[in-house]
Structure 1
């Protein structure tokens, strides 16, 4: 499989149907998918283009976010098929609708339950992140290596996405946030927050809801760059495991420090 070909597919879809509609969505091109969740014509058309392109690269089931919304049984391919594609055609749709540049296009390849390759394209700045299991992580052909973070909570900067947290967990975050240098709510786009962690803007990010197309690409990028992604019980991330709660961090010591402070 040609890694660069998948990057080309994402760029082609972005230029064909996403970027032309950025800050130019017409009436009727934004729909409510579920309470509090929106979808646009750009999401749907991009997923169609990417799906066709990926099948031309490797003929395997494609689990797209919008296709899975219509038929949740598609997610079963992650455990039933030896190899499957995951597609998030427009991560951060609400940001896109609001004219915010924090959105991304993401793809992951899952083989026997593990993510073996991933791609994150940020169309607003045409920045591409690519990772391959055992081969490293890259940003626009520059190899990435996440530096270890401080073990002092007062020097750590992170994000905790609280939207889906139960009230008790939100309360713990509010009480403990002051022990860190900074805790922000994140960008509402995993395709932006994972690269920020890898690039050193953040030292940790805590997620609650785990949809596979949101996290499989970024987790591989992070771990191939030297970071850590684990459930609160310390088990490693797997795309088909959608139990809530994932803590990602610059390194294992940082992960443990943050977990202890947040009482996860």
Structure 2
């Protein structure tokens, strides 16, 4: 049983590569054999036509639940598909035990359509604090990792987002309109201003990776599900970026955030995006 964060640090020093191997195996065994080969009976809708689940999601999550739980005795797993089946299991994100937060196929719509823009996300947290994350893009076989206080890496190379180039448009990936309330839509309209180039987001995990790599300036997301955000938020933090809600506070994976929120390459960009979401003067940085 894990007793304290020092013990978890020791676990990560020994087993970071084991987690990466588990993520790769889940993709190799359960996801990639079904990519572009899905039968009609292997795809279901959850809340609507844009909220899909496949046999790849379910089986990859089952595999990761078994392996990750065995790797870290005393931990619990919060997976997207398990929470859909039993929403009460989400409470473990707020509990005292180490928790694995798993999105087996982030970007299921892209996966179903045969596109390459999907990934597998795993994060480890305790007491609401993100400790480690793994973002794996199976089609390109690229793995990004982040360990709190030890940096972010992509295939072993250190990531550093850095500030955007002065004077050019900010690129911002925004929530899909099907997953926003009317109030959130009005808030996101604040990004439609000179000097900002918003676009609909794809896989959240890959958008966070783009921010950490300095290829995307910021995100503006309007939902809280921890499995979509946990891995990427730590990746951005450890690459030198930051995240803020509309109240100017960091995003909490335990919930209760003022939405939409942003993750950005640097603090100035995050404050600028938050100001625009809050309806402040366009183009002003705080």
TM-score, with structure 1 as normaliser: 0.94
On the 8 A contact 1:151/1:253 being kept in 2, the answer is: no
The correspondence of residues 160-175 of structure 1 with structure 2, limited to 5 A, is 160-163=174-177, 164-171=179-186, 173-174=188-189
Which one of the candidate residues 17, 28, 43 is aligned to 1:15? 28
1:29-178 paired onto structure 2 within 5 Å: 29-36=42-49, 37-59=51-73, 60-150=75-165, 152=167, 154-163=168-177, 164-171=179-186, 173-174=188-189, 176-178=191-193
> Structure 1 residue 136: deviation in Å?
0.6
* Mapped partners of 1:232, 1:238: distance in 2: 12
How far apart in 1 are the matches of 2:191 and 2:100? 38
Larger RCO of the pair (alpha carbons < 8 Å, separation 6+): 1
CA distance in 2, matches of 1:99, 1:114: 35
Aligned match of 1:202 = 216
User: Hey, what's the Cα distance between the residues in 1 that align with 2:192 and 2:43?
Assistant: 35
Which 10-residue stretch deviates more, 76-85 or 126-135? 76-85
Distance 1:116 1:242 in 2: 20
For structure 2, which runs of at least 5 residues remain unmatched after alignment? 1-10, 280-286
> How many corresponding residue pairs?
262
Q: CA deviation at 1:181?
A: 4.7
Residue aligning to 2:232: 218
Q: Given the two structures, how large is their TM-score scaled by the length of structure 2? A: 0.87
Please tell me whether the aligned partners of residues 205 and 228 of structure 2 are also in contact (alpha carbons under 8 angstroms).
yes
**Structure 1: any 5+ residue segments left out of the alignment?**
none
8 Å contact from structure 1 (residues 87, 107) kept in 2: yes
Q: Please, what is the CA RMSD of the aligned residues?
A: 1.6
Task: Provide runs of 4+ in structure 1 moved above 4 Å.
Answer: none
